[in-house]
Amino acid sequence: MTTPIQGFSKLSKEEKINWIADNYTDNSEATVQILKKYWNIDNGLQKLHDEFIENTISNYYLPFGIAPNFLINDKLYAIPMAIEESSVVAAASKAAKFWLDKGGFKTSVLGTEKIGQVHFIFKGSSEKLQEFIEKIKSIFINDTKSITRNMEKRGGGITSIELRDQTHKLDHYYQLHCKFETLDAMGANFINSCLEQFATTLKREAQTCALFNEDEKGIEVVMSILSNYVPECLVRAEVSCPVDDLEVEQSVSPKEFAEKMVRAVNIANVEPYRAVTHNKGIMNGIDAVVLATGNDFRAVEAGIHAYAAKDGSYRSLTHASLEDGIFKFWIEVPLALGTVGGLTSLHPLVHLALEILQKPSARELMQIVAVAGLAQNFAAVRSLVTTGIQEGHMKMHLLNILNQMSASDDEKKTLIAYFKKNAATHNAVVEALQNLRNNL
Ligand code: MEV
């Protein structure tokens, strides 16, 4: 059995690799080889990646693709996407092209406020606490001046500090519920620094507050942290067209197609099992752009799923309607994104992705990302209510299957041509390759 290791982080990269190869893999030589194969030949670039996290031993590649032809508020974008799932980029591109001659996507930012909280325990009179917090609000602001100065110069900063009594949920539990405008920064560091200063100020001022008795002076701060639930950092994206323009398949009339789309979205709105998959498809588009632009996709995922459940039941993030001959399809999602700070200037591909997107502000990026989610959902639901998802999926998956079976370039060419006219199920691909190899 492998024994625990002390001081792994202090080992050199080579030593770490050797240790993992010797202790956790069957063929240490092959392990070392594969890990090194993924190192960048540019030592400087490799060092940069090594230093993004701790204990780096190699790089993990994801494809970086482009979905072109996105018309968003009359401006044409080519959207970079980092994703491993076949068919996502193809689906996004198809949806972009479909809406290109129908006015494209229209978007608007509904809010940009972010939230952070100081969670604390106070055993005493809530009226006195309220009075105390009101009294020290200006001290909170003054104490954070060194953190907020630059942000304020650019028009952002702390926008509100509010005491929330949560004692009905948990004994003696209160919060400072704070709002921030962080402009083009995602703002996590800014918000957390402000919150930790608020916590220090809160404890210090309580100690000398004349309103409090000795017990009340001992405010206990539990934690200070931003919230990834950002329902007031919200963006909307929409497409619409006269129903007669919805010519998607010969087998279904435009009106029938619109009705099927609306019904499918309505199902995702009332049925959580479907809603989760429906929203997963939306996240295929959202995450891919969030990742390509160096943003925190876990934060985005957590916030968006919480938003999908805001009414007490998990629902669709997209909506569809058919009224007066007009089909409308739209999404509303919370997105806390940054286009400065973090990885945005450090990671060369992230930098490039932002350049391809014409160096967007965070507000613009929110709109682009929402569009990617909406487009992805349109493409997925379109397939689901017409041909079924497997047709397109398996075609895109074909290359993965052929690669798994070590097909040569010639074999791939022949079989891609063959599966243009035949259903590309996993078994059919395996069989066709075997037949080809046996000259059948
Ligand atoms: C697959 O990654 C995403 C879909 O399942 C989304 C959906 O069902 O709407 C196709």
- Measured by CA distance, the residue closest to atom 2 of ligand 1 is 281
Please tell me the distance from the alpha carbon of residue 340 to that of residue 351, in angstroms, as a whole number. 10
Tell me the C-alpha distance between 18 and 32, whole Å. Answer: 7
Strands (E), 49-124: 64-72, 75-82, 106-109, 114-121
Amino acid at 207: Q
Known catalytic residue at 119: no
- Ligand 1 in contact with 278 (CB < 6 A)? yes
Q: Is the pTM of this model over 0.75?
A: yes
Query: Angle at which helices 409-418 and 426-437 pack, to 10 degrees?
Result: 130
- Ligand 1: atom nearest CA of 88 is 2
- Return d(Cα 267, Cα 248) in angstroms, integer: 21
Q: 282 with 317: CB under 8 angstroms?
A: yes
Q: Which residue has the tokens 């090594």?
A: 50
Ligand 1: which of 84, 267, 277 to mutate, most ligand atoms within 8 Å of CB?
277
Ligand 1 mean position, distance from CA 369 (Å): 18
State the SS3 of 319-342. EEEEECCEEEEEEEEECCCCCECH
Q: Say which of 50, 196, 238, 296 is annotated catalytic.
A: 296
Q: How many CB atoms are closer than 10 A to CB 421?
A: 6
pLDDT of residue 397: 79
Residue 169 carries which DSSP code?
T
Distance of alpha carbon 65 from alpha carbon 284, whole angstroms: 13
Determine whether the shortest distance from the Cβ of 83 to ligand 1 is under 6 A: no
Please answer whether residues 175 and 119 qualify as being in contact, where contact means their C-beta atoms are separated by less than 8 angstroms.
Answer: yes
**Planar angle of CA 235, 240, 245, nearest 5 degrees:** 155
- Among residues 278, 277, 297, 273, the alpha carbon closest in space to that of 286 is found at 297
The pairing of beta strand 64-72 with beta strand 75-82: antiparallel
Annotation says 296 is catalytic: yes
CB atoms < 10 A from the CB of 152, how many?
13
SS3 content of the chain, % helix, strand, coil (to 5): 50, 20, 30
DSSP string, 178-239: EEEE-TTB--HHHHHHHHHHHHHHHHHHHHT-TTS-HHHH--EEEEEEE-S--TTSEEEEEE
- 351 noted as active-site residue: no
Using CA atoms, how far apart are residues 219 and 110, in angstroms rounded to an integer? 37
Distance (angstroms) between ligand 1 centre and the Cα of 381 equals: 8
- CA–CA separation, 91 vs 282, rounded Å? 11
Give the distance (Å) from ligand 1 centre to CA of residue 391: 13
Ligand 1 pocket check for 281: Cβ under 6 Å = yes
Does any ligand 1 atom lie closer than 6 A to the CB of residue 87?
Answer: no
Q: Is 20 helix (H, G, I), strand (E, B) or coil?
A: helix
Tell me the CA distances in angstroms from 310 to 135, 303, 373, one per residue in order. 33, 10, 19
The angle subtended at Cα 201 by Cα 222 and Cα 160, nearest 5°, is: 85
The whole-number pLDDT of residue 426 equals: 87
Confidence (pLDDT) at 265: 98
pLDDT by residue for the chain (440 residues), tens only, comes to 678 999 999 999 999 999 999 999 999 999 999 999 999 999 999 999 999 999 999 999 999 999 999 999 999 999 999 999 989 999 999 999 999 999 999 999 999 999 999 999 999 999 999 999 999 999 999 999 999 999 999 999 999 999 999 999 999 999 999 999 999 999 999 999 999 999 999 999 999 999 999 999 999 999 999 999 999 999 999 999 999 999 988 889 999 999 999 999 999 999 999 999 999 999 999 999 999 999 999 999 999 999 999 999 999 999 999 999 999 999 999 999 999 988 888 999 999 999 999 999 999 999 999 999 999 999 999 999 998 877 766 777 788 889 899 999 999 999 988 988 888 888 999 999 999 999 86
Q: How far is the CA of 281 from the centre of ligand 1 (A)?
A: 4
Question: Is residue 393 among the annotated active site residues?
Answer: yes
For β-strands 106-109 and 318-323, DSSP reports them as unpaired
| Cα 88 to averaged position of ligand 1 atoms, centre (Å) | 10
What's the burial of 25, exposed, middle or buried (CB within 10 Å: 0-12/13-18/19+)? middle
- Bridge partners of 10, per DSSP, are none
